Structure 1
Amino acid sequence: MPAETPHLHLLAKAPLAGQAKTRLAPLLGLEGAANAHAELVRHCVASACKALPAENVTLWTALDHVHPLFTELREAFGVALCAQPEGDLGARVRYALNSTPGPAMLMGSDCPSITSELITACAQQLASFDVVLLPAEDGGYGFVGTRQDYPALFEDIPWGTKSVLTTTKQRIGQLGLSAAYPATIWDVDRPEDWQRWKSAPVSV
C-alpha cells in the first residue's frame, strides 16, 4: 500500500424491487433482481474492506438512504455512509472523489470481478499515475482513481453507452495526464452476467 492510502468510494442503490438491477428481472423476477443487487453490494463492500481499512471506505447511497442493507453494512464493516447528491453520473462520481482529501478511488457496486487484490494494485498504481482506470468489457469502466480534481474527466461523457471508455481516454490525452489500466473487468447487468458470476464466483 502506498504511503498515502487512497480513500475508496462505492456507489450503491438501495435494493428496491423494480428499481435495482431491473435487467436481471427476466431471469430472477423484480424481487429476485433486487436481492441479487443486495448480494453484489455486500460482495463489493467486503472486497473494499479487505483491501483497505474501513475508515478509508465510504458507501454512497441512493433511492433509500436508510435501507436496512446500508445499516447492516455500516455495522458489519464500519464503513461510512453518505447520500449521493443530485446530478448525472459524472457529477456524482466527481463529488464523491473530491469529498475526501488526498488520492481517491471510486467503483460501482455491480463489479464482482474487482477483487481486493485488484483494488490494492490500483491503489499502488495511483502513487505513480494521475489516473487509474479499470476498463469494462462493455465499453465503460468500473473503477476510477485520481490524484486530484480533473473536472473534464467527468463532464460531457456519454454515460451508459459503449463510448464511455473511449471518450474518457481521449479526455485523459487532451489533459496530458498519465494513466494506468491494470486490468479489464466485467459487471453484472444482464442475465448472462449473473449466470457468469454464479458459475464461477469471484473471491473477495
Structure 2
Amino acid sequence: MSCHVIIFAKSPRMGISKTRLARDIGLVAAWRVKRYLDAYTCQVARDPRWTCLLAVAPDCDVEAAYPGAWPAELARIKQGKGDLGERMTRALQRYSRGPVCIIGSDLPDLRVQDLAAAFKALRRNDAVFGPAQDGGFWLIGLSPRAARRFHCGPVRWSSRHALADILSGLPAHWRVAFLRELDDVDDGKSYWRLAQR
C-alpha cells in the first residue's frame, strides 16, 4: 500500500504568497523566507518510505521553474479551484489508495520523524493531525477509507479556530491521533520566534 505526502505550496513569485508575513516584515523579506522554507520542507519531506508530491497554487505555476525553490525532480500537481478545504479534499481523495498526508511548506521545525509518526498513527486511526501553535494545523493525514469519505465542512481558515472547526466536522466515530505541536511561519510574530532561534 503506497503512502503519499503532499506539500501544499503557493507560487514563489513575489507578492503571491506569505501576504500576512509581508505586511509585517516587508515583501522582499517575506519572499526570501518563503523560498527558504519551501526548499527546506521539500528536502525534509522526501523519503523512500513514501511518495512526495508538490501541490501548487495558482495552477498556472505548476510547470514553472524557480531555481532553488522547488526541486526539479519533485512531481507537481495542481491544487485546483476553491477554498483550502475543497483543494485539500480533492488531493486527499485522489491519493486515497493508501494513507495520505498533506503538509504546508512553512514548517522550520519539521523533521522526517514527524511524517513517519503520522503514517504510524494511521495504522490504527482514521485521521491524524499536527496542531500548530496558532490554533491551525500543520498536517492532516487520513487512512484510505477515511480519505475516500472525507468532506471538509465550514472552517475559519487562517484563524485560531481552524483545527477545532475541522475536527468538529469529522464523523463522531472516527479515531483521531495528534502529533507534536509545531510553529508555522505565517506572520511577523512567528517569523521573529524563528529568527530568535
Gaps of 5+ in 1: none
CA RMSD across the alignment: 2.1
Identity %: 27
Contact 1:59–1:82 (Cα < 8 Å) also in 2: yes
Matches within 5 A, 1:137-152: 137-147=133-143, 148-152=147-151
Mapped to 1, the partners of 2:22 and 2:30 lie a distance apart of 5
1:22 matched to 2:19? The reply is: yes
Letter in 1 for 2:124: S
Structure 2 unaligned regions, length at least 5:
none
Q: In the TM superposition, what is the alpha-carbon distance from 1:67 to its structure 2 partner?
A: 3.2
Aligned to 1:175, what secondary structure does the other structure show? Answer: coil
Find runs of 4+ consecutive structure 1 residues off by over 6 angstroms. none
CA gap of 1:68–1:199, structure 2 versus 1, over 3 A, is: farther
Equivalent pairs, count:
191
Report the equivalent of 1:110.
Answer: 106
Partner of 2:70: 73
- Relative to structure 1, the CA distance from residue 72 to residue 110 in structure 2 (aligned partners, 3 Å threshold; closer, same or farther) is closer
Contact kept, 8 Å, 1:131 with 1:144, in 2: the verdict is yes
**Contact 2:117–2:179 at 8 Å: present in 1 too?**
yes
Q: Is the 8 Å Cα contact of residues 91 and 155 (structure 1) preserved in structure 2?
A: no
- The 3 A distance-change label for structure 1 pair 79 and 54 is farther
Instruction: Name the structure 1 match of 2:192.
Output: 195
1:158 to partner: Cα distance: 2.2
Q: How does 1:129-168 map to 2 (within 5 A)?
A: 129-147=125-143, 148-152=147-151, 154-168=152-166
Q: Identify if the C-alpha distance between structure 1 residues 193 and 83 changes in structure 2 by more than 3 Å, giving closer, same or farther.
A: same
**In the TM superposition, what is the alpha-carbon distance from 1:114 to its structure 2 partner?**
2.4
Q: Greater share of helix residues, 1 or 2?
A: 1
1:46-85 Cα shifts (integer Å, max 9, x gaps):
1101xx228701101113223323786342xx32111111
Offset of 1:164 from its aligned partner?
1.5
Q: 1:105 to 1:150 in 2, by over 3 A?
A: same
- 1:59 equivalent to 2:54? Answer yes
**AA paired with 1:132?**
V
Matching residue's letter, 1:164? A
State the AA in 2 paired with 1:161: S
Residues 181, 96 of structure 1: alpha-carbon distance in 2 compared, 3 angstrom cutoff: same
